[in-house]
Every structure is written in structure tokens, then in C-alpha cells.
């Protein structure tokens, strides 16, 4: 046994590399082209036909631009279909900026509260370090989306359109987090020197500053607005002086409590058919906790197909950083022969991907269709994304069923499709996971 790399080792590795013409050919190929382009398997990709046996008509694709608000766009893409169907609209968007504003503001309060809650711990405590290093992000989870809508309602996009910084959040987030970490230091110092009551007075001033910054960057959220639209029959309608809560209740429909997040996390620490939450993960402090019901991948797909067959699209979360072509709009693990190209093999399981931090949920989208084969199982899925209509098939994408098995981690399902036993599990106190657990990841691409 030896710990160091020796010169004879390097010589052996080099000889092994140079002795195989395949590796040299690959080296020449990738000198001018990316590896993914070189190993693209056209025969497998050709099987990803953009035709589906079950397909729900949906509106044109939206565009989150240079922001990590995919979970908000996916959620609102789901809700706008309800509005469109109810009012006979060809195209319609609910303001993503409005939801993002209140999400940011609530996350700021949530972070400051987490700092106060952990003020008795050392700054290098793992939980404190996680809170500080994570800061506030664009990303989120389904239950966080629900919390914002239930507290603040919603508005049409016309009532609070996009701003530069709502669509390009990088620099704004940098300065918000810079200030929040300074605020964290002030809060911890104030608690140590003057006590908790004084800290809450200081916190109120911090929130006032943050609200001001968000208004500058996003605009001021409207308290009331006029809802005007023209339907498919070119008929004009106008509803005057509506509040965001009224718009949600009367025009969108407040059915959010009917849905639950199901996950597929096949790890030993998360048995199936049990519920989970994540410590220190949320936005609205008084809102509902993150809640997951962990199911097998086959059970997850069965529930998704049930919902699609009833004509309702499905919010879901996956790891889009693996085996994908954003321009063609394909995610398929078989369309990339990366192992053959590099002379290696990949045998990592989904359980190991999670345990060894190779994969996690990174992006939320909406499932709008599926191709069912003779035995009733799926071989590919149609996806509505929020990266604009200049990619994929006018903003719509396709994922293979094998990719689904490996990289889909979460879906939002109407509770009515769950079994009686699964519904009973939702009433049991969930198992609390650590903040850094892979299931605590946010959709932020």
C-alpha cells in the first residue's frame, strides 16, 4: 500500500493511454468539439420522437431568463391553465415578479429568524454555517410556492411586469446576501450584549432596509389592480379594483391545499411510504412546513399518469444537469455514450447519487404529456419548460423514461389520487431531515 503517486505510475498510465488508438482519436475529436457532442448517440436520440399518446394542450412557453425562479414559473404555468380554461384565454401569464418579490422578502425574514434561533451556537456550528453560506436564493420548493400565494395572493403579469433585476438576479442576490451576513453578525452581537428584545428592534430596521431594496429592484407590489383580458372570441372583459387575494380566490381558484409533494429518494435513511420535512428550509415563517411523501419510482409514475389522464398537468423537480441537450430539448441518458467515449463505465445507482452528492433536484418544470406503450408503461414524457421558446420544441422538451427513473426526484400530486394508507401518512408528524440533506435542495436553474 502506498499513499503517494510515483513517477513509474505516471509512466504506466501514459503508456496505457498512448497504446490505445481509440483514446488518441477521442483526444483529437475533443480538441475542437465538446465531449457531449462527440459522444452523442444519434440512433438512440432518434427514438425520442416528439409524439405522445397522451398530451394536454397548454399555452406558449414562458421565460425566466437569467434567474433561478423555475419553481415559481412551473407553479404559475400550472395555475394559468386553470385561468385560461375558465375564461377561454389563448395566452395568459400570472406575475412571476410579484411572487418572487414576496418570496425574497419572506426568505429574508426567515433567514434572520434562523440566525436569532441559533444565536447560542458558535459561528462555525454546521447549522449556522449552512444558514450563512446558503443565504437567500432564487430557488424554492412547492410548499414555499403555496405559502406565498396563500399569504399574498397573485396578480396578472400586466399588474406587476418583469423588471431588469427580476429577470437578472445575480448581482442583486450578491448584495442582498452581503448585507444579510452583516445583519447576522449584528443580530448575534446584539443578542449577546443587549438581549433578544433589543435584537428584534434591530431586526425591524433590517427588514425595512431590505423591503426598500426589493422595491427598487422589483417594483412595489400592487395592493389592487384592474384585470382586463380578451378571450379567444375577441371579446373584451374588465374587472376593476381587485386585490391579489381576490384574484387568487375568484379567478385562479384556491385549490392549493389539495396537492402534496411526493418524492423518490431510494436511500436507506428514508424508507418509502413515510413523510419527511427539512429543518431550516422555508420562506414564510408562519407558513406550512416543507412536506414530502417518499414513494417508489413506479408508484410516483403511476400517480403522475393518473393526474395526466384526468387532464391536469404536473409540477415536478429533477436534475437537469445530466445527459441533456438544451437546444434540441432532449434529456436522455441513452443518447450520450460518454462511457464508451472516455473508456470508463458508470454504474452508480440513484441511491448512491444522493448519498454521495452526485445528483439532486435542481430544476422545476411541468409534465404535460406522456407516451404510453402496449403494457401501459411510459417510454417518454413531454415537458413544458420556462427557458423561452427558442430552445427545444418551441420551449417544450422531452425526457426518456430511463432518464426519469434516474433523475426525477419530486412531483406534486392531487391528494385524491393517493391510496387511503398514503393519505393517512400525511397526518403523521414527518421525520425531520438535516438542512444539508439532498432532499433539502432548491429548484434554482
- Structural contact between residues 290 and 282, judged by C-beta atoms closer than 8 angstroms: yes
The β-bridge partners of 325 are: 330
Give 144's contacts (C-beta < 8 A, 6+ positions apart). Answer: 71, 103, 282, 283, 284, 287, 290
Question: What is 322-385 written as a DSSP string?
Answer: SSEETTTTEE-GGGB-HHHHHT------HHHHHHTTS----EEEEEEEEEE-TTS-EEEEEEE-
Euclidean distance between CA atoms 85 and 232, whole angstroms: 11
Active-site residue, from 283, 363, 371, 444: 363
Cell digits of residue 158:
400586466
Q: Let me know if 155 is exposed, middle or buried by CB neighbors in 10 A (0-12, 13-18, 19+).
A: buried
- CA–CA separation, 344 vs 20, rounded Å? 13
Q: What is the DSSP letter of 156?
A: B
* Active-site residue identified among 63, 70, 177, 294: 70
Here the cell at position 323 is 445527459
CA-based torsion, 156, 160, 161, 165: positive or negative: negative
- Name which of 105, 171, 99, 96 is nearest 136 in CA terms: 105
Active-site residue, 77 included:
no
Annotation says 385 is catalytic: yes
3-state DSSP assignment of residue 229: strand
Active-site residue among 173, 264, 385, 444?
385
Which residues have a catalytic role annotated?
A: 70, 363, 385
Amino acid at each position: 500500500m502506498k499513499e503517494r503517486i510515483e513517477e513509474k505510475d505516471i509512466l504506466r498510465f501514459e503508456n496505457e493511454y498512448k497504446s490505445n488508438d481509440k483514446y488518441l482519436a477521442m483526444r483529437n475529436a475533443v480538441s475542437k468539439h465538446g465531449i457531449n457532442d462527440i459522444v452523442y448517440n444519434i440512433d438512440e436520440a432518434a427514438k425520442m420522437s416528439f409524439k405522445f399518446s397522451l398530451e394536454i394542450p397548454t399555452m406558449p412557453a414562458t421565460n425566466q431568463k437569467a434567474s433561478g425562479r423555475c419553481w415559481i414559473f412551473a407553479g404559475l404555468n400550472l395555475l394559468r391553465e386553470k385561468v385560461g380554461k375558465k375564461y377561454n384565454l389563448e395566452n395568459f401569464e400570472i406575475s412571476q415578479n410579484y411572487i418572487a418579490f414576496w418570496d425574497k422578502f419572506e426568505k429574508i425574514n426567515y433567514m434572520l429568524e434562523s440566525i436569532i434561533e441559533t444565536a447560542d451556537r458558535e459561528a462555525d456550528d454546521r447549522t449556522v454555517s449552512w444558514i450563512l453560506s446558503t443565504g437567500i436564493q432564487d430557488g424554492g420548493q412547492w410548499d414555499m410556492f403555496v405559502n406565498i400565494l396563500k399569504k399574498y395572493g397573485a396578480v396578472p403579469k400586466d399588474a406587476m411586469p418583469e423588471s431588469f433585476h427580476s429577470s437578472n438576479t445575480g448581482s442583486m442576490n450578491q448584495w442582498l446576501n452581503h448585507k444579510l451576513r452583516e445583519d447576522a453578525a449584528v443580530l448575534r452581537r446584539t443578542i449577546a450584549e443587549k438581549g433578544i428584545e433589543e435584537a428584534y428592534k434591530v431586526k425591524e430596521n433590517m427588514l425595512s432596509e431590505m423591503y426598500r431594496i426589493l422595491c427598487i429592484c422589483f417594483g412595489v407590489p400592487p395592493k389592487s389592480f384592474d384585470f382586463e383580458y380578451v378571450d379567444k372570441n375577441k371579446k373584451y372583459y374588465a374587472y376593476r379594483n381587485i386585490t391579489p387575494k381576490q384574484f387568487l380566490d375568484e379567478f385562479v381558484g384556491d385549490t392549493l391545499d389539495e396537492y402534496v409533494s411526493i418524492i423518490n429518494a431510494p436511500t436507506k435513511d428514508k424508507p418509502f411510504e413515510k413523510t419527511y420535512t427539512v429543518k431550516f428550509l422555508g420562506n414564510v415563517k408562519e407558513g406550512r412546513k416543507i412536506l414530502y411523501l417518499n414513494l417508489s419510482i413506479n408508484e410516483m409514475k403511476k400517480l403522475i399518469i393518473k393526474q395526466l389522464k384526468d387532464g391536469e398537468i404536473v409540477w415536478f423537480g429533477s436534475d437537469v444537469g445530466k445527459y441533456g441537450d438544451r437546444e434540441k430539448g432532449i434529456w436522455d441518458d441513452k443518447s450520450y455514450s460518454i462511457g464508451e467515449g472516455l473508456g470508463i463505465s458508470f454504474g452508480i445507482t440513484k441511491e448512491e447519487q444522493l448519498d454521495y452528492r452526485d445528483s439532486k433536484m435542481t430544476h422545476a418544470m411541468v409534465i404535460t404529456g406522456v407516451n404510453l406503450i402496449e403494457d401501459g408503461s411510459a417510454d417518454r414524457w413531454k415537458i413544458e419548460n420556462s427557458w423561452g421558446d427558442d430552445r427545444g420544441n418551441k420551449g417544450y422538451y422531452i425526457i426518456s423514461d430511463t432518464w426519469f427513473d434516474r433523475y426525477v426526484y419530486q412531483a406534486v400530486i392531487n391528494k385524491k389520487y393517493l391510496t387511503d394508507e398514503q393519505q393517512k401518512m400525511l397526518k403523521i408528524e414527518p421525520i425531520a431531515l438535516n438542512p444539508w440533506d439532498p432532499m433539502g435542495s432548491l429548484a434554482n436553474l
